[in-house]
Amino acid sequence: MLIRQAPHISTSEITDEGLVLRRREFLRGAAAAAGVAALPAGTRAAAEENHPLLPNVKPGAFGTDEERTRYSDAISYNNFYEFGSRKGDPARNAGSLKTKPWSIAIEGEVDKPGRIDLEDLIAPHTLEERVYRMRCVEAWSMVIPWVGVPLGKLLERFAPTSKAKYVAFQTLLDPKQMPGQRRNVLDWPYVEGLRIDEAVHPLTILSVGMYGRVLPNQNGAPIRLVVPWKYGFKGIKSIVKIELTEKQPPTSWNLSAGYEYGFYANVNPNVDHPRWSQKRERRIGDFLKRDTLPFNGYADQVSSLYTGMDLRKYF
């Protein structure tokens, strides 16, 4: 796939304009979430039926016992630029996405290239629920119970070769279904990548659901990447292709603004975004900020992946 260098993007396109606008966006998202919570019980139940419960979900081996973000907040305050650049846009606009049928191509440096259907990932006795902290580069965070499968186990089916050093991901390209792709905010389709050791780490999953339910469109349906020690933009959504490569693949935000968004994107309170500090974060639903944890609190599990690396240079 040929990736063009994206045109220059203004500050307002990359994220909210300054602290004031970020606060306003936060308050809008909180107000929207409060509106959902205030609906009559029958109406809330009808809304949840749009995202039915997944079968045979079992607790995963990893997670946190921290208080979970309210479901209504998690599905109404999102980054998904394919449906708009404001936090409330995905919930408003993602209904146009058709998630069935759906399959993912697995290709590149593998001995057994092929495709996997979504139904094969939602087969009985295959799904795990893992409650992960999630940290966005704009200094907000959530705690979400994701449902999915370890990426490493999936990749094993396709027999990666010894040349596979990286894993590249690609989102669906369909401006009819994804109206945000009609604007040149990014160079579509959205692409992301991990080093192979990051991809097969037990914490890395492909998610098909959250809160025990089918993944909502605005949260990356029908299948998305979850890497809990990295900033949220690494969690590519609506995946249609996974390619194993020998060379480091391009990634969308790094192409568009590499001085702000590195390839690794590990949560690091000691490396500021050029326009704001990353030392503190606000958990959605909380008023006060809290300290940002190195690797988003997963340092014990993943810091060894980066032994000897200059984490200020490779941010």
Residue-wise pLDDT tens digits, 51-90: 999 998 999 988 899 999 999 999 999 999 999 999 999 9
DSSP E strand stretches across 39-163: 57-59, 103-108, 114-117, 127-135, 140-150
Take residue 284 and report the two structure tokens written for it: 């959605």
Which is nearest to 97 in space by CA: 85, 89, 105? 89
Nearest to 193 by CA among 225, 157, 169, 227: 169
Kindly report the length of the chain: 315
Distance, CA of 4 to CA of 155 (rounded, Å)? 28
Three-state DSSP class for residue 266: strand
* Element at 19 (helix H, strand E): helix 18-37
Pairing of strands 224-226, 114-117: unpaired
Q: How far from 235 is each of 134, 135, 166, 228, 289, CA to CA, in Å?
A: 10, 11, 16, 9, 23
Within 8 A by CB and 6+ apart from 188, the residues are: 82, 173, 175, 181
* CA-based radius of gyration for the chain: 18
Tally of CB atoms within 10 A around 282: 18
What residues does each domain of the chain span?
17-306
Give the Cα separation of 145 and 123 in Å (integer): 19
List, for the chain, all residue ranges whose pLDDT scores fall below the cut of 70: 1-49
- Amino acid identity at 247: K
The CATH-assigned architecture of domain 17-306 is Alpha-Beta Complex (3.90)
Specify the pLDDT at position 48: 58
* DSSP class of 198: H
Question: What is the rounded CA–CA span in Å between residue 190 and residue 59?
Answer: 31
**Predicted local distance difference test score (pLDDT) of residue 277:** 96
Q: Dihedral of CA 258/104/136/278: which sign?
A: negative
DSSP state, residue 200 = T
The pLDDT, as a whole number, for residue 115 is 97
Instruction: Give the DSSP letter of residue 231.
Output: B
One-letter amino acid at 72 equals: S
